[in-house]
Amino acid sequence: MQNLDNSSIPSLFRRYRNAIPWLVCLIIGIIYYSFSTLLVNNVFAPSSTNYYTYLLDAFMHGRVNVITPNTYDLSLFHDKWYLSWGPAPLLFIWPFYLIWGLKTSDVLFTMLGGFTNVILVYLCIKEMKHYFHLSLALMAELFVIISFAFASPNFFLSLTGSIWFTNQIFAITFLLLFYFFFLKYLNSHKESYIILSVVFFSLSSLARASLLFHGLLFIYIFLDSKIRKKKISQRMIVFSCVIVTFFVCFAGFYNYLKFQNVFETGARFVEGSPRFDAIVKSGNFLSVKYVWHNIYYYLLNIFKIDPEGNSVLMVYPSILLPIILFFKRKQLDAKKRQFLVIAGVTALITFVFLMFYCGTGWIQFGNRYFFDVFPLLLLCLILSMPYLSRPVLLIVMFFGIIINFLGVLIFL
């Protein structure tokens, strides 16, 4: 009897150990709901810029232009209003529209999208552990989950709805689904997983074009096949190319329906903040003249809450931790080193692109455009967990939570 009791203890521990991250995710969802209710009072009431619902309604009636009581930041072309944001998030919004129609709350589905992102991060952690043979303590897993939930752009963007935040939240949902199936493929080498990863990568880019750079991660598949000494299926490559071609054609066709130009997204026709009037009229959205301004607000604006944004080094402190991998590089195997190089180069290219862009996110706490880079750093953060001590993790985690909780409440 004693032996039976002793043998059951590890089993009970493993069972509850695996359940704890799911419990933490549930608590995070409750906190998201509480913050959202605090800020908007009623999460079931739509914001004034619930444009995706109106776009879905337009599709249902055979149109691509929207008819909405508010036109702020929409694109005016030939006396009709259009969205310049990608249409992919409509896939998530459609079930809500079927229930509530035009009364659908973007606050609700954006909050649920942010909560879904937290769950997807945990699923990616599990796949990363399997592929890279990581032995992560429970504290390390919870650190990554909680840091993403409360000390990343996901927190600020999930709380109040509105088209700008909805677009980014669901773009990252697609991106994390891409990561998840990409890692599932690396673990199982089932072709169906890579096909799904290509689909979700394409959808993420269709939601937010700046996520196109994440496609560089597909290079790692060839490095992985070299490590395994197994060729990649030509059929899989052909299917992937066909999928990407379909989405490229769809994006061009959608642009043509709106603006009679397959390359026109509508940014040149936006009627919005006076802050960007001169830029919109000039059409000069990418320029070296924006670099210093962006460097200041992305990296240096530490102490001042500003509509342009705050330093990511202060608001999202976990992004500094992967630096330890540079000092531990000799301890890393070939898979980890090659993956880190691909992820690091992709993050750098994405960040440099953001430095040349005309805006930083505007009317925000933290830096929402940095969300294009954060998921890549998250993957690197997971790999750095075995080399970080618990006191360091606790200090960084609580600092990030406090900064973001106070910042969001003060700002909003």
Query: For the segment 19-71, what is each residue's pLDDT rounded down to a tens digit?
Result: 999 999 999 999 999 999 999 999 999 999 999 999 999 999 999 999 999 99
Cα–Cα distances in angstroms (integers) from residue 255 to residues 78, 262, 273, 278, 386, in the given order = 14, 5, 23, 23, 46
Residue 352 to residue 345: CA distance in whole angstroms: 11
Reported as type and span, the H/E element at residue 50 is none
Q: Which residues of the chain have pLDDT under 70?
A: 1-14
Q: What are phi and psi of 208, to 5 degrees?
A: -145, 110
Residue 255 to residue 39: CA distance in whole angstroms: 35
pTM score above 0.85: yes
Evaluate whether 368 touches 157 at the Cβ level (below 8 Å): yes
Give the pairing type, strands 74-77 and 80-82: antiparallel
Looking at residue 17, its pLDDT comes to 85
Looking at residue 346, its pLDDT comes to 98
Scan for tokens 């992709």, then name that residue: 346
Cβ–Cβ contacts within 10 Å for residue 160, how many? 20
Going by the DSSP 8-state scheme, the letter that residue 268 receives in this structure is G
Looking at residue 1, its pLDDT comes to 40
DSSP H helical ranges for 101-162: 106-132, 138-150, 153-157
Query: Cα-atom radius of gyration of the chain, to the nearest Å?
Result: 22
Residue 405 to residue 156: CA distance in whole angstroms: 9
Evaluate whether 207 touches 89 at the Cβ level (below 8 Å): yes
